[in-house]
Amino acid sequence: MPNERKPPEEVKQLGLVRLARFANEVEFGGKTRTIDSFSISRLYRDREGNWKSSCTLNADDLPVAAVLLSEMSRKLIETKQSGE
């Protein structure tokens, strides 16, 4: 099915902040390309103690998110350079 939700290709987590990378296949100019997209979320417990996630970050989460984004960016750049 074309609209099936695929799991992320890669997930990195630091503390309560999680970064997921998804690889999406698209056709452009008769060629199939892979376009990466990203989702960042914060884990928390609700009043009943169940784990949930939110796309809203607190100010304290920003440095953690920056580290995750920097690491992912560096890895993608290195992968691209080694593939050329």
Binned at pLDDT 50, 70 and 90, residue 5 comes out as confident
What are the residues whose beta carbons fall under 8 Å from the beta carbon of 54, sequence distance 6 or more? 41, 42, 44
Q: What is the pTM of this model?
A: 0.82
40 domain-assigned: yes
2 domain-assigned: no
Chain segment 22-40, per-residue pLDDT in tens:
999 999 889 998 899 999 9
Nearest to 38 by CA among 60, 69, 79, 16: 69
5 domain-assigned: no
- Tell me how many domains the chain contains: 1
